[in-house]
Amino acid sequence: MKDARRWGLFNTSAFRMSMGYTLLVALAVCVTLGSTYLLTQSIIQGDVDLIIDTELRSLENQYVRSGIPGVTQEINLRIDSWGRIGAVYMLAGPKFDRLAGNVTNWPFDGAPAEPWPEFRIESIEPGQRSVHPVRAGVRKLPNGDWLLVGTDMSQDRRYVRTFQIATLWGIGLSILVAAVAGFSFSFRLARRVADVTDTCVRIMSGEQGHRLPVVGTSDEFDALATSVNRVLDRLEEQTRTLRATFDSVAHDLRAPLHRLRTRMDAVLRLPALESGIREPVESALREVDRLQRTLATLLQIALAESGAPLASPTPVDVGELADELVELFEPVARERGLTLTGRADHGVIVEGNRQLLAQLITNLLENALKYVPSGGRIDVAVKRLADRGHLIISDNGPGMPAEERMRAGQPFALVGQRSGLQSSGLGLSLVSAIARLHRARLALESNDPGLRAVVSLPLSEPQASPASLSRSMSA
Amino acid sequence: MHILLIEDDTEAARVLVKELRESGYTVDHAADGREGLSRALAGKFDLIVTDRMLPHIDGLTIIQQLRGARLATPVLVLSALGTVDDRIRGLKAGGDDYLTKPFAFAELLARIEALLRRRPSAAESTVLRVADLEFDLIARKVARAGREIELTSREQKLLEFLMRRAGQVVTRTMLLEGVWDLHFDPQSNLVDVHISRLRQAIDRGAERLLIHTVRGSGYVLKEEED
């Protein structure tokens, strides 16, 4: 369950959106910091190159003015603390032998090919030996001598390196912050959506007093919750009104029926009743009873449609119930020359109203008993398929044409013009209302020949709310 | 036996009072909830029959008040509200039986009789006996005149229900409720078919019949025919 819930979070659109934004932030930070880094590096290099170029030109000018001695003097002057920090100079003969400067050997193999060659100088300063990277420029003087001016880059390299580390940290931290913010945002969002779906599931399963939580942050969720709650209040109000209407209709119709029946009953109990009167009164009484039954069925349909009977559902073993009813109906079927068999798996447990489920099976059975001619068979099966329980009542009777099967669930749909059989189709309407109440699917199919009624019921789950939560979240 | 009938429908009440008196009961009538409650609390009645929807105080409140005053008088609730939930609420409030209007007078009479004859379940016997019919409740064995009779468990339950109410009229609805726990009215003649099967098993070849049909009401299991 817990895993399902966590994976559920990854499936939310809020999570996907925040992941997308995290990636976008990461990309933006990378581009900004990366280009700043590259730009800084090239500016530093450009500065160094400009200085080297300027010094080379000034030494060349010195050569033009006062020849090699002038250049040598100038170099020595610059080495002796007049020059810049970290500056490297060398004047070499045509064979690269040293004439002047602060480098002992010509660092290259002959003349370097690239415009800004680099090399390393090892220096021994008090206490430690260090290696300095040097960037240099080389010119050939008109007399064949070689002039080299370079700059110790260790300072700049350190600077660039620090910048590099800072850039990487920056990128990493901003991605982390974006990811954490996004995750907590989507988690909060998912939790509030889960609250909403959870409440909806509870309300649908009959806890009509339930309302969406209003946190008091007056954000869009509170606005949503408030208006959904208003809708729910309205619905509950309507259900209450409907229920009150049923009750008063039931009362107002039953009370006169009751008076009528009581009086007719009293007439029938008169000791000196002529048989010529008894017979019509008895048949009128049967009509009253039929009227009463129709009224009861109608009220039951209306009540089942209102959802009220599932306010306190209990676990019902549909297999056991089907077996009991098959046992109850079997002698009646045999009396009519029919074979009634049951093949029910037990332990197919549904959250619902036992009486209504019994009524559903009874109505389907009585429907079959009514239409299947003598010699036919009726079979009741209950089995478990994945997370649903299937109740299947099939017969090999005349069946029902396709368009009638479609209409059968509607109240007062006259099923068949079979003469002599009084059926207003209310029985099947009640079946479909009870099925809907239990969130079941009712299908009337052709059994080739005959009719097959399949009621597919959602099984009760021990931990209904977390499971439905993760399912609705990943949906 | 003294019965209090609380019913605001005076027309129906008049007929019921008359019929009940003719059946040998002493009947008082209260026309609204307030009067009904005060008379129920004051008088010594063996049974109270009350409508559920009444002016001033409704039937369920009357029962709760009675039970609150530690009066255990059996109460039969009559109601025009006939769904299963209404019924459960009626029984939860402390009612002993629940009958939906309209009902046959015979049904009411049978239920009144059943409530009046109900004894506190002290010293329950483990063997039920009616004439030469014996039902050993522990061994789940039924015998007629010493000869064992094979019955299915549901047939045993049906027989037990009848034997515990030997001599009383038991209606079809009482049997559907008590034996099969079905609180609605199937259209088929289910009970009749099951009774006739039970009758075959119990009474076949016997010289005195035990299961009798009461025309217009139901069945009774007893020793002699009247």
Residues 136-195 of B with CB under 8 A from A: 152, 154, 180-190, 193-194
| pLDDT tens for each residue of B85-117 | 777 788 888 889 999 888 888 899 999 999 998
Question: Which tokens in the block code for residue A436?
Answer: 């809907």
Using alpha carbons, select from A429, A345, A419, A422 the residue that is nearest to residue A389. A345
Contact A329 B102 (CB under 8 A): no
Q: What is the CATH number of the domain that holds A389?
A: 3.30.565.10
For residue B103, the chain A residues in CB contact (below 8 A) are 258, 261
Q: Is the same domain home to A147 and A137?
A: yes
B53 contact residues in A (CB cutoff 8 A):
251
Q: List chain B residues with CB under 8 Å of A262.
A: 12, 15-16, 102, 105
A176 and A265 in a common domain: no
Residues 6+ apart with CB under 8 A from A304: A356, A430, A433, A434, A436, A437
- Looking at A148, A169, A196, the residue that finishes a domain is A196
Q: How far does the CA of residue A262 sit from the closest CA of chain B (Å)?
A: 7
B8 in contact with A, Cβ within 8 Å: no
What CATH class does B127-221 carry? mainly alpha
Enumerate chain A positions whose Cβ falls within 8 A of a Cβ in B: 247, 250-251, 254-255, 257-263, 265-266, 268-269, 288, 292-293, 296, 299-300, 303, 308-309, 311, 324, 327-329, 331-332, 335, 353-356, 358-359, 362, 366, 369
Strands B141-144 and B147-149: antiparallel
The C-alpha of B222 sits at a distance from chain A's nearest C-alpha, in angstroms, of 24
pLDDT of residue A50: 92
Angstrom CA distances, A207 to A203, A236, A313, stand at: 5, 11, 10
What is the model's pLDDT at position A419? 38
Judged by DSSP in three states, B208 sits in coil
What is the torsion angle, in degrees rounded to the nearest 10, for the CA atoms of residue B61, residue B76, residue A291 and residue A310? Answer: 60
Scan for tokens 């039931």, then name that residue.
A250
pLDDT tens, per residue, chain A with 475 residues: 444 444 566 777 778 888 888 888 888 888 988 888 888 888 888 888 999 999 899 989 989 898 888 888 888 888 886 667 788 889 988 888 888 888 888 888 888 888 888 888 887 777 777 888 888 999 888 888 999 999 888 888 888 888 888 888 888 888 899 889 888 888 888 888 888 888 877 776 666 677 887 878 778 888 888 888 898 888 888 878 877 787 777 778 888 888 898 888 888 888 888 878 888 888 998 888 888 888 888 888 877 777 666 667 889 999 999 999 999 999 999 999 999 999 999 889 998 889 899 999 999 999 899 889 999 999 999 999 888 999 999 999 888 888 777 776 665 554 554 433 445 567 888 898 888 888 888 888 888 888 999 999 998 865 344 334 334 333 3
Query: Which candidate in B78, B84, B107, B197 is best for mutational testing of the A interface (most A CBs within 10 A)?
Result: B84
Q: Which two tokens mark A266? A: 């009293």
Nearest-Cα distance to chain A for B122, in Å, is: 31
- Whether the ω angle into residue A398 lies within 30 degrees of 0, i.e. cis, is no
Both A223 and A344 in one domain: the answer is no
Please tell me which of the candidates A255, A257, A327 has its beta carbon nearest to residue B154.
A327
User: How confident is the model over B173-186, as a mean pLDDT?
Assistant: 90
Residues A304 and A347 in one domain: no
Q: Which two tokens stand for residue A457?
A: 């019921």
Tell me which residue in A254, A292, A324 faces B180 most closely, judged by beta carbons: A324
How far away is chain A from the Cα of B14, in angstroms, using its nearest Cα?
A: 10
pLDDT digit string, tens, across residues B187-225:
888 999 999 999 999 888 777 889 999 987 899 998 875
What's the structural domain count of chain A?
3
Predicted model pTM? 0.66
Query: Residue A325: which residues within 8 A CB-CB, separation 6 or more?
Result: A358, A361, A362, A365, A380
Kindly determine whether residue A254 and residue B80, on different chains, have CB atoms separated by under 8 Å: yes
Whether residue A230 is found in the same domain as residue A151: no
Pick from B15, B193, B197: CB nearest A262: B15
Residue A184 burial (CB count, 10 A): 11
Strands across the sheet containing B218-221: B170-171, B218-221, B211-214
Same domain, A459 and A367: yes
Residue contacts between A and B (CB atoms, under 8 Å): 101
pLDDT at A76: 87
Q: Name the residue with higher pLDDT: B24 or A401.
A: B24
| Subunit contact B188:A366, Cβ cutoff 8 A | yes
B226 in contact with chain A, both atoms CB, cutoff 8 A: no
Angstrom distance (rounded) from CA A292 to CA A294: 5
Considering the domain architecture, whether residues A390 and A322 belong to the same structural domain is answered as yes
Same domain, A274 and A307: yes
Which residues contact residue A412 at a Cβ distance below 8 angstroms, ignoring those fewer than 6 apart?
A: A424, A425, A426, A429
For the domain spanning B2-117, the CATH number is: 3.40.50.2300
Task: Name chain B contacts of A326, Cβ cutoff 8 Å.
Answer: none
- Note whether B81 contacts A369, CB cutoff 8 Å: no
How close A366 gets to chain B, by Cα (Å)? 7
Search chain B and give the residue with CA nearest A327: B154
Same-domain check for residues A221 and A183? no
pLDDT at A250: 74
Q: Which two three-digit tokens encode residue A301?
A: 């349909």
Residue A156 confidence (pLDDT): 82
Chain B contacts of A268, Cβ < 8 Å?
A: 216
Single residue among A311, A337, A367 that ends a domain in this structure: A311
Chain A positions touching B152 (Cβ under 8 A) are 327
Q: Looking at chain A, how many residues does it have?
A: 475
Q: Which of A247, A262, A303 sits opposite B12 (nearest CB)?
A: A262
Domain of A93 in residue numbering reads as 1-196
Which of the residues A355, A357, A363 would you substitute to probe the B interface, choosing the one with the greatest number of B C-beta atoms within 10 Å?
A355
* ipTM given for this complex: 0.87
Q: Quick check: B101 and A258 CB within 8 A?
A: yes
Is the Cβ pair B84, A293 closer than 8 Å? no
| d(CA B104, nearest CA chain A) in Å | 7
Q: Which of B63, B96, B58 is nearest to B80 (CA)?
A: B58
Q: Which residues of B touch A327 (CB under 8 A)?
A: 152, 154
Please state, as a whole number, how many other Cβ atoms lie within 10 Å of the Cβ of residue A225.
Answer: 20
List chain B domain ranges: 2-117, 127-221
Residues A304 and A322 in one domain: no
Q: Which of B80, B154, B183 sits opposite A255 (nearest CB)?
A: B80
By Cβ distance, the residue of A259, A300, A332 closest to B189 is: A332
Q: pLDDT value at position A44?
A: 85
User: Cβ contact (<8 Å) for B82 and A254?
Assistant: yes
A242 vs B180: which has the higher pLDDT = B180
Let me know if B77 is exposed, middle or buried by CB neighbors in 10 A (0-12, 13-18, 19+).
Answer: buried
Pair (A298, A318) in one structural domain = no
Closest CA in chain A for residue B54: A251
Q: Report residue A177 CA to chain centroid gap.
A: 24
Using an 8 Å CB-CB cutoff, list chain B residues near A245: none
Residues A23 and A113 in one domain: yes
